[in-house]
Structures are given as C-alpha cells and as structure tokens.
Structure 1
C-alpha cells in the first residue's frame, strides 16, 4: 500500500516525534511505501528514517525551492513545478492518506484532500492522526460542519480520526482490504 503522509518539516519535541517514529515503523514493517513531501528535515525526516529503517520504500514529491532538503536516499524523488502540482502528485501516487501534525501547509493539504473527496474526485481513505490531541479542535469544527449541514457527505465517509498509528494503519488496511 502506498501511504501518503502529510506532515511538518519542522523540528518538534518528543510528544510528536515518538508517535511519528512508531507509525513509520509500522509502515515499513508492513511492507508499505511512504509517499511524502520528500524532505529530510524535521518530522518528515523522522518518518522517512523510520520507514527506511524498517524496510519500507520511500517515494518523495518535492518542489524546486525545497530541493536542498530533499532526501538523497529516497527510492524515488519527483520535483513538482509548484505546491499545487506537488499535492496532485502526492495524491496520484497514494492509495491512502494520513495527515499527521503540521502547520499551515499541512492544514492546507488536509482541507484540499477532504474537499476533493467530498466532490468524489478521489475515494481514498483519509486518516487524521490525532497525536497528543493535536486535531481535537479541527475534529470539533468538522463535526459542527457535519451537524449543521455544511458537509453534503457524512463526516465519517470523509475522514477517520485515529489516536495512534496502530489505529490509523488498521483502518487503512481494513478500508483497502490489505492483509
């Protein structure tokens, strides 16, 4: 399974890096491929390290202005013209999407993926990995959008909220029928 992970390239503390390492190990040991923004920095680097160390493949999609942080040991590295093309390529290369902790860029990626799914422009399973309650506020907002009729598709058909990597991977494998 090709798992696209949207996440931060920032250096973060152990409450985020520890669970990221654990999830990365699950991806690699499961024989899955990490599809990610291609960076060797911050949380992106932590996840790439973990997947690679556990025997998984790495498929990076970066952009020219971030080429200096692209992971040299990726099994495949593609450079998009801009961030919009990068998101499209990441989605195209993925069987499933996991959104981990991140800043405005990660939030942009998450909302675009959900919007595309809402309009049936993809049907891939999407997980928000709610490490340390990071997405509690977003979960509450999405639930309100659902309850108040702003989502034409039930929230549970758009996204699954997982509290840990084990739950995230189990949901993806079940959704895609992976043994």
Structure 2
C-alpha cells in the first residue's frame, strides 16, 4: 500500500486492556498493508504497544519527539527511526508533514490537543489528509457529541463534518482513510 500514516495515542500505561488490544490490532493491520507509521515516539502506554507490535511484525515506525522528552528517557528504545525537535510545536508540525492520513486513538490532553489542531488546520486548508478517529469502547463519543454541537449551534459549518471520520473498530481504519473526503 505504501502509505505513511500518523497515529496519535496515549502514553499512559494505566488504561484498560481493551485500548491496548485495539492498538495491537491496528498495528498488525497497518504492517500487513505495508503502511509506515509516524508516532510520538513514547515507549509506554498505547504508544509503546503500537511500536512494539509494528517492530515485532517487521513493519516500519518513526518516532518524533522533542529533545527534552528524550532527555527524560520517554523515547521507545527499539525504534531506530527517530526525529528530535526543539519544541512541541515543531513536533506537531512534523507529525502532519509527508503523511497520507491521520489516525487518533484514545488518549489524554496531548492526544486531544493534537487532533483538534489537525482539524483546525484542515478547516483552514493547511492540512488536507483524512482524519480518522478510532472510537474504541465509545471513548470518543463525547468528542463526537461536541463536534456535532459545534455544527448544530453554528460555531462551524455543516460541511466541516466531512473533515473527520469516526470508526469503531481498527479493521475499519484503512477503509476510512481510503474513502475519506479530503
């Protein structure tokens, strides 16, 4: 398939097993499809599971992380392809460069901030690739409700609903990318 996909996800190792399982399934599907992955570079949580699975299955994964995070040893130790930035802002810009799509898994404030920035950039025409939100275990239901409310209350346009796609299972992610309205 030859695509480069950025994956936003949690660094917390305390989350429910269902999120780790979904991350592993997605990683295996990406490797089988020949997808190269860009991610935040972390060695624990869903980031760690993503990298561990991709590496174990012989796939390619690239970490992008600010230097200060590497200095406190947050970087995944087995990921060979790494880019270190000076700031978080540079990191986020690099996440969206040279990719064919963006997938957001469950995560905390960093994951949500990155996703909302990508949606904003897409709204402004600065990012044009598909945005897929993997709604494992209904995690992103409140976000979907919030985005819908932004539309229904006219804070954003109805057409903006086409900027993102929610899917419930990892197996629907690749089709979501391929079928997305850019």
**TM-score band, normalised by the shorter chain?**
over 0.9
* 2: CA distance, partners of 1:155 / 1:164: 23
Q: Is 1:138 the equivalent of 2:161?
A: no
CA deviations 1:130-175 (Å, max 9, x no partner) are 0100000010110111122222362432100010111112111344
Q: Does 1:27 align with 2:30?
A: yes
How far apart, in 2, do the equivalents of 1:93 and 1:72 lie? 24
Structure 2 partner of 1:173: 178
Deviations 1:71-129 (A, max 9, x none): 23324100011111100001113210001111011110011000000011111000111
What TM-score do you get using the length of structure 2 for normalisation?
A: 0.91
RMSD, aligned α-carbons: 1.5
Q: Which residue of 2 aligns with 1:87?
A: 92
When residues 69 and 93 of structure 1 are mapped into structure 2, their CA distance, relative to the original with a 3 A threshold, is: farther
Q: Which residue of 2 aligns with 1:148?
A: 153
Q: Distance in 2 between matches of 1:126 and 1:78?
A: 23
Separation of aligned partners in 2, 1:155 and 1:119: 11
Alignment partner, residue 3 of structure 1: 5
CA distance in 1, matches of 2:157, 2:86: 33
Q: Partners in 1 of 2:82 and 2:158 — Cα distance?
A: 34
Note the residue ranges of structure 2 that are not aligned, 5 or more in a row: none
Query: CA 1:19/1:141 → structure 2, altered by over 3 Å: closer, same or farther?
Result: same
Q: Aligned residue for 2:77?
A: 72
Structure 1 gap ranges (5+): none
CA contact (8 A) 1:35 1:93 kept: no
Q: Are the aligned partners of 1:57 and 1:75 in contact in 2 as well (CA < 8 Å)?
A: no
What is the aligned partner in structure 1 of residue 41 from structure 2? 38
